[in-house]
Amino acid sequence: AQKVTQAQTEISVVEKEDVTLDCVYETRDTTYYLFWYKQPPSGELVFLIRRNSFDEQNEISGRYSWNFQKSTSSFNFTITASQVVDSAVYFCAGLDSNYQLIWGAGTKLIIKP
Amino acid sequence: NAGVTQTPKFQVLKTGQSMTLQCAQDMNHEYMSWYRQDPGMGLRLIHYSVGAGITDQGEVPNGYNVSRSTTEDFPLRLLSAAPSQTSVYFCASSYSASGNTIYFGEGSWLTVV
């Protein structure tokens, strides 16, 4: 069965520090998609990125970057120069070949001013 | 552009009552799904649909029914509410099941007393 592990339950850093959120996706599928979502205190789910398992190129979007390594099944998310507005719960999720989106437990990120 | 609309946003039920959470999307998406999110956990898939007239069970389907009579609507029915169904419910849709961006509604907070 598929499993998404976000080992970091909570991370607290001071503003402007860089922070990396870890995600490991275990699956027997060779083709899958990985996602990151942000859930701010208001509760909505904000889409951040979708990555196909065949694409191992790193991706950068402003202060956000993602590193996908298929060999280790890791899809890590880095925020550079963190800001207070980045405080949220971040979820990693994997979409398997049965169209089921499996979610990690989330990492609560606290950015202190 | 409304996106994914869920109603109601908040609901309190008594044990044994039934109710329907409504979900509608205006993006002509084929794939729709319902998730529940319990405190400190990621989302878990309840039911999903890959198109009108087609539904299937997810990870935690017991106590819930769905139907998909139109592309736009995907209601979730609680047959006989139990306190264990106290949760936040999210409806989601995407163009297809194969990894397109998944859009979420704002969530429905359900409390069963």
pLDDT digits (tens, 9 = 90+) for A28-42: 888 888 999 999 998
Bridge partner residues of A61 (DSSP): A64
pLDDT at residue A112 tops 90: yes
Both structure tokens of B20: 């329907």
CB contact under 8 A, A52 and B101: no
Separation of alpha carbons A40 and B75, rounded Å: 26
Model pLDDT, residue A96: 75
Model pLDDT, residue B41: 81
CA B55 to chain centre: 12
CA B56 to chain centre: 13
Neighbours of A10 (CB within 10 A): 10
pLDDT at residue B96 tops 80: no
Cβ-proximal residues to B44 (8 Å cutoff; 6+ apart), any chain: A103, B35, B36, B37, B38, B58, B59, B60
Both structure tokens of B56: 């299937």
Chain A hits for B33, CB-CB cut-off 8 Å, are 101
CB contact under 8 A, A99 and B48: yes
pLDDT at residue B16 tops 80: yes
Q: B83: which DSSP letter?
A: G
* Dihedral sign of CA atoms B66, B64, A94, A108 in order: positive
Q: In what order do the strands lie in the sheet with B76-78?
A: B4-7, B19-25, B76-78, B64-66
pLDDT, tens digit, 9 for 90 and up, residues B21-79: 999 999 999 999 999 999 878 899 999 999 999 999 998 999 999 999 999 999 999 99
A45 and chain B in contact, CB less than 8 A = yes
- Output Rg (C-alpha) for chain A, integer angstroms: 14
Model pLDDT, residue A29: 84
Question: A73 near A22, Cβ under 8 Å?
Answer: no
Model pLDDT, residue A59: 85
Separation of alpha carbons B36 and A33, rounded Å: 21
B27 and chain A in contact, CB less than 8 A = no
CA A18 to chain centre: 15
B1 and chain A in contact, CB less than 8 A = no
Separation of alpha carbons A30 and A70, rounded Å: 10
pLDDT, tens digit, 9 for 90 and up, residues A54-99: 888 888 889 999 999 988 889 999 999 999 999 999 999 998 777 7
Model pLDDT, residue B1: 54
Q: Give the mutation candidate from B104, B108, B109, B110 for the A interface (greatest A CB count, under 10 A).
A: B104
Q: Give the mutation candidate from A33, A92, A99 for the B interface (greatest B CB count, under 10 A).
A: A99
Question: A59 near A50, Cβ under 8 Å?
Answer: no
A112 and chain B in contact, CB less than 8 A = no
Question: A9 near A109, Cβ under 8 Å?
Answer: no
CB contact under 8 A, B103 and A47: yes
Separation of alpha carbons B34 and B66, rounded Å: 9
Question: A51 near A23, Cβ under 8 Å?
Answer: no
